[in-house]
């Protein structure tokens, strides 16, 4: 059984002026996402600046989100780390807080071998009972989780249920689909501009950044594909392609936070080393948001 089908928004973490977490604003964002049809929410992961949250803050953000969501959609907690012990600890605490699943990014900086990746993810999954989603994004971590390693984990650990694929390597994603065929294992796109191609390989949806600004459209795109209307899904993918690309004009989540602020959601700034968007990029983003009638 899939953790979700459709769109999961990788929710940003809003901050107050003193860089403390703005929980009231977080709840507003959650309500808007659910009202506009998203199928799950990912909390305190990459887009949520989980790497700059203290462990206490990290668990509090997950706990408060679980309470506010109150079972309306699945909650997927970002609990990955480059330290296996830390990933296990965060995952256990997220499970205790009521998260429905965890998202485990590949260990960054350490650049583990494939055997190291296997043991890291396996040990973490074995420490919890809730499902785990692997997160493959070499561009940010420096290491790829190779298809045979993903398939091996899916076969050996029953609660490793899916992978968020942001490698951009369609050939590898096809290989993952082939190697895991017949298993209770799903593939989610980790890139907004690859949803339709990945769904065509059997993917069940996307863990999205663009859904912050176009939640209904992202939901409708995946739903159309899953319902067999590939023409409609492709139309939506192509229509919003420029917006999807512009939301990565600088490193995520800088552009999407800027976009939300331009749209009047007042989500605050960032924690360093994230810094405000350059004025040149801000003007490009502003023009694209106007083009899509998201701001005046």
Nearest to 42 by CA among 101, 84, 111: 101
Which pLDDT does position 159 carry in this prediction? 98
Is 204 tagged catalytic?
no
Q: Is the model's pLDDT at 283 over the cut of 90? A: yes
Which pLDDT does position 132 carry in this prediction? 98
Q: What is the spatial distance between Cα 163 and Cα 255, in angstroms, rounded to a whole number? A: 25
pLDDT by residue (tens digit) across 53-81?
999 999 999 999 999 999 999 999 999 99
∠ CA 41-43-49, nearest 5°, is 135
Exposure letters 155-168 (e unless 16+ CB within 10 A, then b): eebeebbbbbbbbe
| Catalytic-labelled residue, pool 25, 93, 161, 164 | 164
Which pLDDT does position 294 carry in this prediction? 98
With cut-offs at 50, 70 and 90, classify the pLDDT of residue 1: confident
Which pLDDT does position 167 carry in this prediction? 96
∠ CA 267-270-271, nearest 5°, is 140
Is 164 tagged catalytic?
yes
With cut-offs at 50, 70 and 90, classify the pLDDT of residue 102: very high
pLDDT by residue (tens digit) across 18-45?
999 999 999 999 999 999 999 999 999 9
Q: Kindly state the helix (H) or strand (E) to which residue 101 belongs, with its residue range.
A: strand 101-105
Q: Is the model's pLDDT at 284 over the cut of 90? A: yes
With cut-offs at 50, 70 and 90, classify the pLDDT of residue 138: very high
Residue in this structure with the two tokens 């429905």, named with its chain if needed: 100
State the average pLDDT over residues 278-291: 98
Provide the percentage of residues in the chain whose pLDDT is more than 90.
99
| Catalytic-labelled residue, pool 118, 135, 240, 270 | 135
Q: Is the model's pLDDT at 169 over the cut of 90? A: yes
Q: Is the model's pLDDT at 236 over the cut of 90? A: yes
pLDDT by residue (tens digit) across 170-219?
999 999 999 999 999 999 999 999 999 999 999 999 999 999 999 999 99
Q: pTM value?
A: 0.96
Q: Is the model's pLDDT at 238 over the cut of 90? A: yes
């Amino acid at each position: 059984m899939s953790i979700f089908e459709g769109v999961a928004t990788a929710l940003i973490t809003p901050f107050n002026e003193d860089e403390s977490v703005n929980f009231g604003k977080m709840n507003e964002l959650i309500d808007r996402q659910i009202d506009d049809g998203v199928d799950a929410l990912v909390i305190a992961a990459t887009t949520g600046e989980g790497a700059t949250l203290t462990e206490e803050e990290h668990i509090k953000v997950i706990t408060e989100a679980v309470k506010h969501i109150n079972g309306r959609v699945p909650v997927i907690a970002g609990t990955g780390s480059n330290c296996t012990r830390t990933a296990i600890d965060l995952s256990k605490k997220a499970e205790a807080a009521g998260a429905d699943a965890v998202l485990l990014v590949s260990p960054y900086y350490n650049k583990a071998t494939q055997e190291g990746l296997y043991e890291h993810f396996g040990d973490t999954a074995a420490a919890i009972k809730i499902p785990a989603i692997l997160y493959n994004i070499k561009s940010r971590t420096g290491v790829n989780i190779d298809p045979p390693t993903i398939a091996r984990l899916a076969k050996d650990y029953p609660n490793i249920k899916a992978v968020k694929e942001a490698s951009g390597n369609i050939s590898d994603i096809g290989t993952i689909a082939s190697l895991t065929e017949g298993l209770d294992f799903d593939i989610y796109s980790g890139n907004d501009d690859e949803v339709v191609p990945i769904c065509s390989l059997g993917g069940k949806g996307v863990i999205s950044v663009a859904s912050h600004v176009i939640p209904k459209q992202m939901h409708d795109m995946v739903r159309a594909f899953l319902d067999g209307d590939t023409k409609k899904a492709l139309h939506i993918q192509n229509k919003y392609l420029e917006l999807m690309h512009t939301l990565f004009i600088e490193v995520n989540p800088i552009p999407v936070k800027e976009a939300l602020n331009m749209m009047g959601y007042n989500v605050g700034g960032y924690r360093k080393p994230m810094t405000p968007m350059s004025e040149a990029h801000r003007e490009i983003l502003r023009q694209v948001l106007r083009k899509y009638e998201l701001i005046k």
